Every structure is written in structure tokens, then in C-alpha cells.
């Protein structure tokens, strides 16, 4: 990932600023909701930004697969004339993973949240959408030059 990510009309945000913001957001989410066993933020082109796992997993490999899966879902959504892809859901025997976009003017980011199957799918999706929105708002504040320390 480039050290400085620049978009027209926005302040550049460094990769370390994005990583720090995402690290903090994932830590807060996982501390608040112990039922979340996987949380990952990656760029759309599969550069790992941040992750929290309860079990040992290959974060870079999961980053690549997460970005690829959402890209495939976006292509399918367009092919089906369904509009933009809002989220992707993997429902497995003992695990559910929700993948969503994080909106940012400077960088296309992807968030994955994983929970054990005993958590309702709607709740897992809500965790993912709410966190994506919080990260997006924080990124917009950084892009506009707002001071987030207050």
C-alpha cells in the first residue's frame, strides 16, 4: 500500500494513519463483542490493513480471498442488474462471515467480520455495516483534516 494515499480535493492520509484507525476500530469491536472471532480490513486490491483473529490464521491469504470474493460479488451484482453490492455473506456449517465495503474517497477498503454459527446472520451483518460506517466517517474526518483527538 502506498505510504501516502491522495484523492483530488482531499488531504492525503498515510497508510499508517489508516492502519492505526482500523486497528483501534477492530480492537474496540472485538473487545465489546467476544462472539466475533475474525475481523479484517483490507484494500480492494488485497493489501492487508488490519486484523484480529481468535485463532491462528494467515491474514495475508484471507485478505486476498476477501477482496477477491467481494469483487466477484460486485461483478455478479452488475450482471444481475441488481445495483451495487452491499455485502457478501458466507454461511458455513459452524461459521458465518460478512464482507462489506468501507467507503472512502482515497482508498477502496473491505471489511470482513466472522462469527460462530450460534450468532444470528442479521446481527453479524449489523456488526459489519455499523463498523464499516464508523471507519468510513473517521476516514472522511481525516481526509477533511479534522482533529480526531478531541
Residue 52 placed within a domain = yes
Q: Give, as one character, the DSSP assignment of residue 55.
A: S
What CA–CA distances, in Å, run from 37 to 24, 82, 85? 16, 31, 24
Angle, CA of 67, 71 and 76, to the nearest 5°: 150
Q: What is the CATH number of the domain that holds 94?
A: 3.30.450.30
Residue 150 inside a domain? The answer is no
Give the domain extent around 33. 4-144
In a domain, 109, yes or no: yes
For 66-122, the pLDDT digits (tens) are 999 999 999 999 999 988 888 899 999 889 999 999 987 677 899 999 998 888 999
Number of domains in the chain: 1
Q: Determine the pLDDT at residue 7.
A: 42
Would 57 be classed as within a structural domain?
Answer: yes
Amino acid at each position: 500500500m502506498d505510504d501516502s494515499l491522495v484523492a483530488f480535493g482531499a488531504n492525503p492520509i498515510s497508510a499508517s494513519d489508516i492502519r492505526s484507525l482500523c486497528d483501534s476500530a477492530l480492537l474496540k469491536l472485538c473487545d465489546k463483542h467476544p462472539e466475533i472471532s475474525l475481523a479484517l480490513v483490507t484494500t480492494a486490491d488485497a493489501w492487508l490493513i488490519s486484523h484480529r483473529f481468535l485463532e491462528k490464521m494467515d491474514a495475508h491469504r484471507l485478505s486476498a480471498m476477501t477482496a477477491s470474493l467481494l469483487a466477484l460479488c460486485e461483478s455478479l451484482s452488475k450482471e444481475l442488474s441488481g445495483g451495487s453490492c452491499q455485502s457478501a455473506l458466507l454461511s458455513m456449517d459452524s461459521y458465518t462471515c460478512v464482507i462489506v465495503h468501507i467507503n472512502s474517497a482515497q482508498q477502496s477498503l473491505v471489511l470482513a467480520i466472522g462469527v460462530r454459527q450460534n450468532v444470528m446472520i442479521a446481527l453479524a451483518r449489523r456488526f459489519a455495516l455499523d463498523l464499516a460506517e464508523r471507519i468510513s466517517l473517521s476516514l472522511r474526518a481525516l481526509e477533511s483534516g479534522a482533529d480526531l483527538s478531541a
